[in-house]
Structure 1
């Protein structure tokens, strides 16, 4: 029998292994973990226990902050400041979902009493939402806390009452193990079995996970290639399951001529900060920026050049990503009419330097080799497309696939409603799940109104992985017809003993 492959923690600053953390899970081990999670479903039925568990998880993570950040930095090179903030965001998200669970509106309770006068007659109907079952979560490389073991998919799935099995990301396996232990301690403190959170390592284990018959849904954050393969596997199962994948995003930015004339320096500086934040490894990094030709646009590019030139080289999450970045920027820079005011590339043996490319927007208005510039390049690089007029800019926008975000930089007058600001907003809305005006897309606030998703290939479903409504991914509605109250769950009793928000006979209560 072939020995299981070891799982190593690697220092991205040197490319050298730090320690062996685990071994890749065999199909039998994946089966054991999933079945144990499935058996733990009943333990999550009590909403009060779930809410207390989520808050305890946040408290335990906060208490272990020093150790967690140290391990995360050793495996990702993202730096203590960034990681401390990301951990705080993750804990805030867990506490926010605890509040969602307690409030109960996510159950979407609707009661219609019998109405024989209706056409056709209405029987007694009572609807609410129930958990799907065991959820598979595929961790992201670039957010070792917020989109990994204790991240948004895990928090929202647990909040909905589903056990979770996480496929750890190979870029931070030691951190994954540590976070899983912290969450299991929090679970034990509230009488929950450790199996409400499972963890497996290995590429093959991830494939086995999506195919397992007891997996009821999956959440993924990663590449288009990897996400699409899992999405197809989820759809090809004998019983297909929902697959909520975040696959990739160009996050276009349109700068109007009036905005460039009004504040070229501010826009150029802001763009430089956004595209290099986290060494360009944010899923909402602006990857394509439409800038007007002419003096105003020239000023913006000059400011961008100065700001990006002052950016220090950085370390990417692993050397595979570094190789892909170097190959990607080289291929793009060799296209006709593409220039490099600041050349992105190797900043050292283990680092990369930030830069940007420019191209006439006309090159992007029709299919051709320059379509490569309309694909995400992970790392500290963006493409500045110089457009001659609004028609040319809109022609480029019309060719873009779905995105997580789309941004427009307007002048003060345009933002007040004058000119074509509203028309530009309408043109960007079909492209993305979040439209930003006079700001930058990097930074995704954890708030009830937040939406982190978008048309394909940004995501595979019209849902969000951030914000309160992420819980809807892991629920399904069930309606009971003409069911005696003694047989109904308490959530659907007429007296509303749990005090839940609901709609009764088309009138909202609570």
Structure 2
């Protein structure tokens, strides 16, 4: 892949103009800037991208499932061919290791292909048919046929910690394309080179498919300023966001204040509580500590599913487990964080938390003192203190976890009841403990979008059944998921066709069912 990095936005098939602000990527391993300059999109660029998307929307909404599938697969093929260049640039801009970059590229291609398979089969549209009954009394029954249709142009805000899977060609973009929506990406300023390369691949795929140039645009720049302009553009019909609670909340407020409000699907903040029951700790505490320590410190703790809160009732087994876990944290090496601001925020938050009264430090470790590094840290606090200070359940993005010591099961339930929404909740227990704790499982299900038993929450498998979401503030809309095939429904709306002649209906709703999809007909699922 020899495409030069121009550092400009993509406005359909054209490139943007240099704005007043420019910047360089920063390598936190070498602590140096990379040589290329990137230029922030102008207000005119944002307007152009939005207008092009509006023009493309009707064409994409009318695309067949086969056409959308071919487009998505072509993007994946182009990414696969460009993998070496993409991985090298991501390593330079994020300090992520090669294996992580390659794995994430593979996941990105997998997501695109999953959505391609989904829309090619066609069943995802949730076609429902209620046939007419003109003889019904006292009023005739009309013919109703409904299905999911594309919502319109989608703004996608890229994540700092996933330069591929949650970025330019990531899950939000893939699911929006699959739904038949144009996409305007707000690239993340921490890895603009990766965005530049990936944006070029998608533009090439748009050209090859003969689609309108407004199918895809990508804006470079500061997500707060350029992103706010994008969120306000009248053509945008929905927003996908992965990032901080502050950033997500700002977009939610902007979207709600528009003349025509739009939905924001923001993945924001999660501390992913883990409940550790005494029987499991007595039976296999050391093994659980080994796995949990690895999960807490994986990727320098820079995962939205990092287990940040560990709940236990005090016992001899729990105390022994805490000792094993502390040893895992002390043995874990310090790591390079993604960006200086992320590392600085981690150090600031850790300093404030560890300095609070009632907080014990179980595993401070010893760092090298090099800039940009973070040291895994295990803290502990009594449940009474935790319940008195809501700041202790704020996400601390990095390799830090907090043990909450509970006096009894009732207090543990009280702690769970005080928690905000989360992406995941985990419980470790014996079969007997799990059978006896149905109320605990239900509480965890009310708290999070994914409940894990005797495992660890890091690692999100992309599948048809996965739920990567949860009650606020883990997600702005806890009814949805940002990963897996169900993510497509965020960018759709239901349309009902009443008393239409068969030839005028969308093909998915016609009497002969030419696509052979499973449909609900008069309350029964049939093909």
Task: Name the TM tier (shorter chain).
Answer: over 0.9
Structure 2: how far apart are the matches of 1:20 and 1:345?
A: 35
TM-score, normalised with respect to structure 2? 0.93
Structure 2: how far apart are the matches of 1:155 and 1:94?
A: 6
The 3 A distance-change label for structure 1 pair 397 and 389 is same
- Residues 477-498 of structure 1: CA deviation (Å, up to 9, x unaligned): 1111122223322222211223
The farther-off stretch of 500-509 and 399-408 is: 500-509
Contact 2:52 / 2:213 at 8 angstroms: preserved in 1? no
Alignment of 1:32-47 (within 5 A): 32-44=48-60, 45-47=63-65
Structure 2: how far apart are the matches of 1:121 and 1:390?
A: 59
Whether 1:8 aligns to 2:24 is: yes
Deviation at 1:447, TM superposition (A): 0.6
Structure 1 residue ranges without an equivalent (≥5): none
Structure 1: how far apart are the matches of 2:47 and 2:367?
A: 43
Contact 1:344 / 1:356 at 8 angstroms: preserved in 2? no
Root mean square deviation of aligned Cα: 1.7
Structure 2: how far apart are the matches of 1:493 and 1:401?
A: 45
| Residue equivalent to 1:403 | 422
Contact 1:139 / 1:166 at 8 angstroms: preserved in 2? yes
Contact 2:53 / 2:235 at 8 angstroms: preserved in 1? no
| Residue equivalent to 2:289 | 268
Structure 2: how far apart are the matches of 1:363 and 1:206?
A: 39
Alignment of 1:371-450 (within 5 A): 371-415=390-434, 417=435, 419-420=436-437, 422-450=438-466
| Residue equivalent to 1:75 | 93
Whether 1:180 aligns to 2:199 is: yes
The 3 A distance-change label for structure 1 pair 272 and 120 is farther
Alignment of 1:294-309 (within 5 A): 294-309=315-330
Partner of 2:209, secondary structure, is coil
Deviating runs (4+, > 6 A) in structure 1?
A: none
Partner of 1:466, secondary structure, is coil
Deviation at 1:130, TM superposition (A): 1.1
- Residues 29-53 of structure 1: CA deviation (Å, up to 9, x unaligned): 1010111122222443232111011
Contact 1:256 / 1:410 at 8 angstroms: preserved in 2? yes
Contact 1:15 / 1:318 at 8 angstroms: preserved in 2? no
Structure 2: how far apart are the matches of 1:119 and 1:87?
A: 60
| Residue equivalent to 1:229 | 250
- Residues 51-88 of structure 1: CA deviation (Å, up to 9, x unaligned): 01111111111111111110011111111011111111
Contact 1:281 / 1:380 at 8 angstroms: preserved in 2? yes
- Residues 340-368 of structure 1: CA deviation (Å, up to 9, x unaligned): 11127864222111111011122123x3x
Whether 1:56 aligns to 2:74 is: yes
Structure 2: how far apart are the matches of 1:20 and 1:495?
A: 57
| Residue equivalent to 2:188 | 169
| Residue equivalent to 2:351 | 330
Aligned with 1:117 (options 116, 136, 139): 136
- Residues 368-426 of structure 1: CA deviation (Å, up to 9, x unaligned): xx3222111000000011112101111111100000000011024324x2x32x22211
- Residues 83-127 of structure 1: CA deviation (Å, up to 9, x unaligned): 111111111110000011011122111111112326654201111
TM-score, normalised with respect to structure 1? 0.96
Aligned with 2:300 (options 279, 287, 294): 279
Deviation at 1:501, TM superposition (A): 2.5
| Residue equivalent to 2:493 | 476
Structure 1: how far apart are the matches of 2:211 and 2:328?
A: 51
Aligned with 1:364 (options 369, 377, 386): 386
| Residue equivalent to 1:490 | 507
Alignment of 1:132-281 (within 5 A): 132-203=151-222, 204-281=225-302
The 3 A distance-change label for structure 1 pair 210 and 3 is closer
Deviation at 1:221, TM superposition (A): 0.5
